[in-house]
Amino acid sequence: MKDKVFTELDRLYDEMVRLRRDFHMYPELSFQEERTSRIIADYQKELGLDVITGVGGNGVVATLQGRKPGKTVAIRADFDALPIEEENDVPYKSRHQGVMHACGHDAHTAIALGISKALTSVKDELEGKIVFIHQHAEEQDPGGAKPMVEAGAVKDVDAIFATHMENYIPVNHIWHSNEYILASCDDFKIQIRGHGGHAAFPHDTTDIIAVGSQLVSSLQQIISRKVDPLKSAVLTIGSFHAGKAPNVISETATIEGTVRTFDEEVRNDIYRWIKQITSHTCQAFEADYHIDYDFGYPATKNNKMMNELLINAAKDVINPDNIIEISPNMGAEDFSYFLREVPGSYFFTGSANEEKGLIYPYHHPKFDIDEKALLNGSKVLAAAALDFLSNKDN
């Protein structure tokens, strides 16, 4: 049956390309994906799948029921875009000013729809169910995965798989991890307040820029002096705003940053240390402060058994020499919410092609992919789903 599905996916390649380019031309930002959601739902309904719309927001869940009873496996594909002005000169360039599919979600969606159509052609041979989770709003916290989980999207699912286009990886390659593959992502904003005044008389003021600078320096020492060196973490200050004139000491300053970790204990410790250091630093300089701390997506941790199943399935598609186990990176993904509920695996599908100039990373205004990745990703995901359903030992 797997060979039949691969043959059907080969036949559907041009259709997947067309779908991907259509989504690319008409991108929609997180929580605004009305057209995309409608097209997905209509496509799956035409195939005869049981379709539920409005799942946790703009999410769509489509279920393919095989003729024979069995387990349930899910394939997840996100479909939102980014607030980026596209710079590519291609026929399928974004028609929406300031919005672009710069992260491959258009490809993820085309892959899922192609798999759905290919598997529909063999549904009389299928054992169990395949659930297609079309997720909205991955790019913007609080994301779409959590509300979809809360709405029951994976209630009866036994395993789940997902991929992401990756332009750090050449096409015809797969990168994976048996454990953590992506970090948690938390953001914070610290507002510092004091008494402003003339730059010539700092003793009559609370020099908020000096306080903020000391705070930034102290916060950076959390990673080097508070976190166990055998446990990874990143704390980055991405924004520091204060003052408008060279001869005025400002009354306020705002510092914003992000924290990335894998270990939940470290994650909570860093939150506690940020509060403690901010309090003591501001107290020392007689400044007031306020902290907004947003716990975002948790770390993405694969299930070892499901990842090994996926990688074995990938060997039917990708040269085994090009299937590479990697260390986790500090990016983040709300697919982590699904993996907290259901065992599964998230992997990277190589989409770069240096000869074609397709080398720009995601979130870049010139991001584009080698569309051969559509075929690779669809075959690997379909093979993993079929192998899971046919394996009685899972």
Rounded Cα gap, residues 252 and 287, in angstroms? 10
Rounded Cα gap, residues 207 and 199, in angstroms? 9
pLDDT digits (tens, 9 = 90+) for 30-89: 999 999 999 999 999 999 999 999 999 999 999 999 999 999 999 999 999 999 999 999
pLDDT digits (tens, 9 = 90+) for 288-319: 999 999 999 999 999 999 999 999 999 999 99
**What value does the mean pLDDT take over residues 264-285?**
97
pTM: 0.95
Give the model's pLDDT for residue 104: 98
* Distances from the Cα of 255 to the Cα of 105, 275, 290, angstroms: 31, 13, 11
Contact 363, 327 (CB under 8 A): no
**pLDDT tier at 391, thresholds 50, 70, 90:** confident
- For residue 240, pLDDT over 90 is answered with yes
Beta bridge partners of 292: 189
Residue 141, token pair as written in the block? 């916290």
Q: Which residue, 373, 358, 355, is CA-closest to 317?
A: 373
Residue 361, token pair as written in the block? 């990373």
Give the model's pLDDT for residue 394: 64
Where do we find the tokens 């705070």? 215
- For residue 111, pLDDT over 70 is answered with yes
Residue 251, token pair as written in the block? 């009354």
**What value does the mean pLDDT take over residues 282-287?**
96
Report CA Rg, the chain: 24
Contact 131, 338 (CB under 8 A): no
* Domains assigned to the chain: 2-182+299-390 (3.40.630.10), 186-295 (3.30.70.360)
Give the model's pLDDT for residue 393: 65
- Secondary structure in 3-state letters for 348-374: EEEEEEHHHCECCCCCCCCCCCCCHHH
**What value does the mean pLDDT take over residues 133-146?**
97
Angle at CA 157, nearest 5°, toward 152 and 158?
A: 150
Q: Which residue, 35, 69, 46, is CA-closest to 116?
A: 46
- List the catalytic residues: 80, 138
- For residue 269, pLDDT over 70 is answered with yes
Mean of the per-residue pLDDT values for the chain? 97
Cβ-Cβ contacts under 8 Å for 271 (sequence gap 6 or more): 186, 259, 293, 295
Contact 137, 321 (CB under 8 A): no
* Distances from the Cα of 247 to the Cα of 158, 196, 202, 205, 253, angstroms: 64, 11, 11, 13, 16
**What value does the mean pLDDT take over residues 111-129?**
97
Give the model's pLDDT for residue 46: 98
Rounded Cα gap, residues 352 and 209, in angstroms? 44
Give the model's pLDDT for residue 138: 98
Rounded Cα gap, residues 314 and 301, in angstroms? 19
Q: Which residue, 271, 347, 353, 343, is CA-closest to 306?
A: 343
- Secondary structure in 3-state letters for the chain: CHHHHHHHHHHCHHHHHHHHHHHHHCCCECCCCHHHHHHHHHHHHHCCCEEEEEECCCEEEEEEECCEEEEEEEEEEECCEECCCCCCCCCCCCCCCCCECCCCHHHHHHHHHHHHHHHHCCHHHCEEEEEEEEECCCCCCCCCHHHHHHCCCCCCCCEEEEEEEEEEEECCCEEECCCEEECCCEEEEEEEECCCEECCCHHHCCCHHHHHHHHHHHHHHHHHHCCCCCCCEEEEEEEEEECCCCCEECCEEEEEEEEEECCHHHHHHHHHHHHHHHHHHHHHCCCEEEEEEEECCCCEECCHHHHHHHHHHHCCCCCHHHEEECCCECCCCCHHHHHHHCCEEEEEEEEEEHHHCECCCCCCCCCCCCCHHHHHHHHHHHHHHHHHHHCCCC
- For residue 392, pLDDT over 70 is answered with no
Q: Which amino acid is at 226?
A: K
pLDDT digits (tens, 9 = 90+) for 173-213: 999 999 999 999 999 999 999 999 999 999 999 999 999 99
